[in-house]
Amino acid sequence: MEYFLQLLLGGLTRGSIYALIALGYTMVYGIIELINFAHGEIYMIGAFTALIMSSVLTLYGFNEVSIIVLSSLIALIYSSAYGFTVEKIAYKPLRGAPRLSPLISAIGMSIFLQNYVLLAQTSDFLPFPTLIPEFNFMKNYEHVFGSTELVIVVTTVLVMILLTILIKFTKIGRAMRATAQDKKMAMLVGINVNKIISVTFIIGSVMAAIGGILIASHIGQINFYIGFIAGIKAFTAAVLGGIGSIPGAVLGGFVLGWTESFATGYVSSDYEDVFAFALLVLILIFRPEGILGKSSSQKV
């Protein structure tokens, strides 16, 4: 029973990270129908920026709390600047082009950013500082659910609540939904669609960077390639839940997290990816629109 609980909570932690990244995929897809393959790289850049900033701040003798807050904040700003710029230079000029063109551009951007970090930093795994402290009240539960896991899950839930409020109840959120549903009409009511697209990339990048920082301090090491793996997994989660659907991305993230966690726990960690992608194949065969997605005939 305890083993089961351990796997359940482990899956929840993993799923949180997948959900955070998947939200960026799904929101961008919802608005411009593009799979932003460079999204995983934003997550990686978020983790790298946090690493560099925390080292610099440690060098200058900042205390623990200000290191966490400042380096995370700078990482979020830096990542969103990347997300914003990637859209401006790689996708915006291709708006109105056939759908394959921005997709190829996205793959190119992903490869470029990976190699740029590889050259600017290193190809080795770098140790990532444990930014998240051990809480005393978690001592008794440590064997099933540690402090970092708790922070990951709580942060994810908070981010999702904030995102829901933003999308459901604010003017900009309403404009984002309107743009996703009917871009031409959005223009006709006076929405600056380019601005909405930029905002979407920035929000997605912020969430990816949060995921990057959290998982890096959980696992304790990063390299230039982590974005690619996490990106593919989160993309899988977004497709599982139904690409374009925000609750779908969250659900897909958790379903994928649990699948991997239980596959690792009850079968073997070697089969983790096999189960994850077998699930994807099954969903694509039996429910191609995803768990919460709308069938394409309905969307029109």
CA count, 13 A, side-chain hemisphere, 169: 5
Task: Check binding of 97 to other proteins (CB under 8 A).
Answer: no
| β-bridge partners, 127 | 221
Cβ 297 to other proteins shortest distance, Å? 13
Write out the binding residues for other proteins, residues 159-188 only, by CB under 8 A: 171, 174-175, 177-178, 181-182, 184-188
**Can you tell me the distance from the alpha carbon of 78 to that of 277, in angstroms, rounded to the nearest whole number?**
32
- The identity of residue 123, as a single letter, is S
Q: Which stretch binds other proteins (CB under 8 A): 4-12, 190-198, 205-213, 262-270?
A: 190-198
**Sign of the torsion formed by the C-alpha atoms of 262, 267, 270 and 273:** negative
Nearer to other proteins, 175 or 222 (CB): 175
**Cα-based distances in Å from 211 to 19, 114, 184:** 9, 18, 33
- Least separation in angstroms between CB 97 and other proteins: 13
Inter-CA distances, 253 with 129, 193, 259, Å: 26, 28, 10
Token pair 């946090």 in the structure block, residue: 50
User: How many chain residues touch other proteins (CB under 8 A)?
Assistant: 16
Span between the terminal Cα atoms of the chain, in Å:
47
**At its nearest, how many Å lie between other proteins and the CB of residue 128?**
41
Mask 122-161, x = binds other proteins (CB under 8 A)?
----------------------------------------
Residue 247 CB-half CA count within 13 A: 5
Q: In angstroms, what is the minimal distance from the CB of 187 to other proteins?
A: 4
Residue from 59, 120, 189, 281 binding other proteins (CB under 8 A)? 189
In single-letter form, the type of residue at position 173 comes to G
Span 57-76, contacts to other proteins by CB under 8 A: none
The residue ranges that bind other proteins (CB under 8 A) are 171, 174-175, 177-178, 181-182, 184-192
